[in-house]
């Protein structure tokens, strides 16, 4: 996408928050820039006497959520905002990088603005903070302009128009944009006041540098092209002369020749005109947006209100609100535009480039501002450096895939924030002055009439005839539109009447259902009281049951502990008994072996010592005594061990009986 301006300006990585009104550069107005630096000291003193001061253009940023395409492409979010509303925005200017296992954080750039709305902000909050103050200034007699700029598919048309449908109560829907909300609020305030008022609406489109009146009774197709999607224009519609731009020297702006201003009395009438014009706009599908606007549009609301004066003559105060929806800047290669769409995108980008050059010239205080290089900049001439209070809503995408477009939009917006306008209250006209103008017009018409009568029907001047023909055509157009408006109003009244009858029938049914519900509610209340008393009793029984169960649980836990301890003791005793039996078996085996050895040795000794019997009698006696002693000690040891074993067995038996009793208590 080409940048919105041709300079290489880029803000610093972190821009300090400062009031842009502190800039030293004071810019000239649009008309002064065209005419050159011929501003006089008298005009400056007159401005100061009127209490008018230069003000900076207000710039607001709106960041939408990621689109379905961006989510499917897994494009991460690189834009950070301070919640629903803040005053700065931070964007990552490159992707995170990894080197030797270390992740380097991406560099960021922070931009300060008057207001920054994040994805959490809704339409109502943006209207309340941005458009509502501008509407109050319009009612005070100022001209105000609000225009949306940004990449295609970032929500410009959604912000400006949104959902044009109304609620059953006739109010704007929650997704309504700035234009329908401003219309509804405007008529609420005017109808609540005691002053007389008139409101006129115009809706113009700039498509391929060609101006088209979207509210014309017969809208021609664009030159050399047909209306996309078959919307708004009949194929047999006659070609109408293109609208033309002319400089208005008295107002230092431009006027559009042939543009119709349609009077409206209610917000519904204005919304119908907005819907009609929106359906006639040039739209087409691109890779970024299925309903991409292929043209710029300007929806203007002109308000005349009367106010009392000290002399008794009423003063007429005029204010104008311009709501501009710019076509989206786009990269032709990325958007997939081909042939006609590519030419459209080229024209859109060309007009936006011119807008960028105008902004640069105003910021740099250039002696020449190139308003005339594009019809878009001529339309916005008074809004950029002129006498209008201007606010820009720049819409951006939060996804990395649109980083270049987002940076370009933010650079454009930060530059535009430095433009200074010189708002002026529109000239007020007294009732007598207005009557004087009407009297002069009537006098001129009488003169034409006398000329016709005196000269037997000779044709009046070409200028008067052309003016009369134009007025007649305008009146006929207004009559036809009034007839259509009456038909629309009758249809609306019929729909409202049917809606009212349905609402009354629904109200009657609702009252009957309410009475039945009250009867059922009384019965339910009685049942509820009984149920609560039963519930109280059940809760008491439940609490008692819980206490008993908790006591049983504690007893079971104590018994389990005792059983575990006795089980461990029994296991220890069982091991000791097994060891004693083994020891007895070993001693008995040793004793038997000793007896066998002694008997064997005794026989051997008896056979061998028969000769020596005398010598060994003493030895035999001694051996016999020793044997008797050993036997006695063995028997004593055996009896002691058996007695100890009997005691242990009785203890084990007692413990087992206790365990069995405990198990019985458990079961």
- CB count, 10 Å around CB of 428? 13
Please count the other Cβ atoms lying within 10 Å of the Cβ belonging to residue 323: 25
Helix 178-192 × helix 132-139 angle, to 10° = 40
Tell me: is residue 150 an annotated ligand-binding position: yes
Q: Is 153 flagged in the annotation as binding?
A: yes
SS3 176: strand
Phi, psi at 19, each rounded to 5°: -70, 120
Per the CB < 8 A criterion, the answer to whether 88 and 111 are in contact is yes
Q: Do 156 and 275 contact (CB within 8 A), yes or no? A: no
177 carries a ligand binding annotation: no
Strand residues in 176-225 grouped as ranges (E): 197-207, 210-213
DSSP state letter for 116: E
118 is in an annotated binding site: no
Exposure b/e, 583-598, CB count within 10 A at least 16 = b: eeeeeeeeeeeeeeee
Confirm whether residue 45 is marked as ligand binding.
no
CB atoms within 10 A of CB 277: 24
Cα(201)–Cα(273) distance, integer angstroms: 8
Q: Is the dihedral of CA 275, 280, 286, 290 positive or negative?
A: positive
Tell me the three state secondary structure of residue 30: helix
Contact present, 117 and 84 (Cβ < 8 Å): yes
Buried/exposed code over 44-78 (b: 16+ C-beta within 10 A; e: otherwise): eeeeeeeeeeeebbbbbbbbbebbeebeeeebeeb
Q: How many CB atoms lie within 10 A of CB 389?
A: 22
- Angstrom CA distances, 630 to 285, 594, 606, stand at 121, 10, 21
Q: How far apart are CA 218 and CA 234, in angstroms?
A: 9
Closest CA to 373 of 398, 391, 347: 347
Q: Which 8-state DSSP code applies to residue 551?
A: H
Radius of gyration, alpha carbons of the chain: 51
DSSP, residue by residue, 68-104: HHHHHTTPPB-EEESTTEEEEEEEESS--EEETTEEE
| Distance between CA atoms of residues 407 and 2, nearest Å | 11
DSSP 637-649: HHHHHHHHHHHHH
Give the separation between CA 336 and CA 507, rounded to whole angstroms.
54
Q: Which of 302, 325, 303 is nearest to 380 (CA)?
A: 325
**Cα 70 from chain centroid?**
15
3-state secondary structure 388-435: CEEEEEEEECCEHHHHHHHHHHHHHHHHHCCCEECCCCCCCEEHHHHH
Phi, psi of 111 (to 5 degrees): -120, 130
Give the C-alpha separation, 388 to 115, whole Å. Answer: 20
SS3 28: coil
Residue 319's beta-bridge partner residues? Answer: 303
- Phi then psi for 119, rounded to 5 degrees? -60, -20
Q: DSSP 3-state assignment of 455?
A: coil
**600 Cβ contact partners less than 8 Å away, ≥ 6 residues apart:** none
Q: Which residues are annotated as a binding site for ATP?
A: 150-157
Q: Which residues are annotated as a binding site?
A: 150-157
């Amino acid at each position: 996408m080409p940048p919105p301006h041709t300079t290489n300006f880029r803000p610093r990585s972190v821009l300090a928050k400062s009031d842009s009104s502190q800039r030293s550069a004071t810019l000239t107005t649009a008309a002064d820039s065209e005419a050159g630096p011929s501003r006089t000291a008298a005009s400056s003193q007159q401005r100061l006497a009127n209490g008018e001061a230069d003000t900076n253009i207000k710039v607001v940023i709106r960041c939408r959520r990621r689109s379905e395409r961006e989510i499917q492409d897994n494009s991460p979010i690189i834009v950070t905002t301070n919640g629903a509303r803040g005053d700065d925005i931070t964007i990552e200017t490159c992707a995170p990088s990894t080197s030797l296992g270390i992740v380097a954080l991406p560099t960021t750039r922070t931009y300060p603005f008057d207001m920054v709305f994040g994805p959490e902000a809704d339409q109502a909050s943006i209207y309340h903070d941005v458009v509502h103050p501008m509407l109050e200034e319009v009612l005070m007699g100022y001209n105000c302009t609000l225009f949306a700029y940004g990449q295609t598919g970032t929500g410009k048309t959604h912000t400006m128009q949104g959902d044009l449908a109304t609620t059953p109560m006739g109010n704007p829907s929650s997704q309504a944009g700035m234009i329908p909300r401003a219309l509804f609020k405007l008529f609420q305030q005017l109808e609540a006041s005691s002053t007389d008022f008139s409101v006129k609406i115009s809706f113009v489109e700039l498509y391929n540098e060609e101006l088209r009146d979207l509210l014309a009774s017969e809208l021609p197709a664009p030159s050399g092209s047909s209306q996309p999607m078959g919307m708004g224009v009949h194929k047999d519609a006659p070609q109408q002369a293109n609208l033309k731009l002319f400089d208005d020297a008295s107002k230092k702006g431009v006027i559009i020749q042939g543009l119709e201003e349609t009077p409206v009395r209610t917000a519904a009438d204005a919304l119908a005109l907005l819907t009609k014009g929106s359906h006639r706009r040039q739209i087409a599908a691109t890779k970024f947006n299925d309903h991409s606007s292929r043209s710029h549009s300007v929806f203007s609301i002109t308000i005349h209100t009367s106010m009392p004066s000290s002399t008794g003559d009423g003063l007429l105060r005029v204010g104008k609100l311009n709501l501009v929806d710019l076509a989206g800047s786009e990269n032709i290669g990325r958007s997939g535009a081909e042939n006609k769409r590519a030419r459209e995108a080229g024209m859109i980008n060309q007009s936006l480039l011119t807008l960028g050059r105008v902004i640069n010239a105003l910021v740099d205080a250039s002696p020449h501002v190139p308003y005339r290089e594009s019809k878009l900049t001529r339309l916005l001439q008074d809004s950029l450096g002129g006498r209008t209070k201007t606010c820009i809503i720049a819409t951006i995408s939060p996804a990395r895939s649109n980083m270049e477009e987002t940076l370009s939009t933010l650079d454009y917006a930060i530059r535009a924030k430095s433009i200074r306008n010189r708002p002026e209250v529109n000239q007020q006209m007294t009732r007598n002055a207005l009557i004087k103008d009407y009297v002069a017009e009537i006098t001129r018409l009488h003169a034409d009439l006398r000329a016709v009568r005196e000269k037997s029907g000779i044709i009046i001047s070409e200028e008067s005839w052309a003016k009369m023909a134009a007025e007649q055509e305008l009146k006929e157009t207004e009559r036809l539109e009034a007839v259509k408006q009456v038909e629309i109003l009758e249809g609306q009244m019929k729909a409202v009447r049917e809606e009212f009858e349905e609402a009354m029938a629904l109200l009657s049914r609702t009252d009957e259902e309410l009475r039945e519900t009250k009867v059922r509610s009384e019965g339910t209340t009685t049942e509820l009281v009984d149920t609560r008393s039963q519930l109280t009793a059940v809760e008491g029984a439940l609490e008692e049951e819980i206490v008993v169960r908790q006591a049983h649980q504690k007893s079971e836990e104590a018994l389990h502990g005792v059983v575990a301890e006795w089980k461990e003791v029994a296991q220890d005793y069982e091991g000791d008994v097994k060891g004693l039996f083994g020891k007895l078996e070993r001693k008995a085996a040793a004793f038997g072996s000793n007896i066998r050895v002694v008997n064997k040795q005794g026989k051997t000794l008896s056979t061998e010592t028969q000769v020596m019997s005398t010598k060994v009698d003493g030895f035999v006696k001694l051996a016999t005594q020793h044997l008797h002693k050993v036997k006695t000690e063995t028997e004593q040891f055996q009896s002691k061990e058996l007695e100890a074993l009997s005691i242990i067995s009785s203890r084990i038996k007692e413990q087992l009986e206790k365990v069995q009793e405990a198990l019985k208590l458990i079961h």
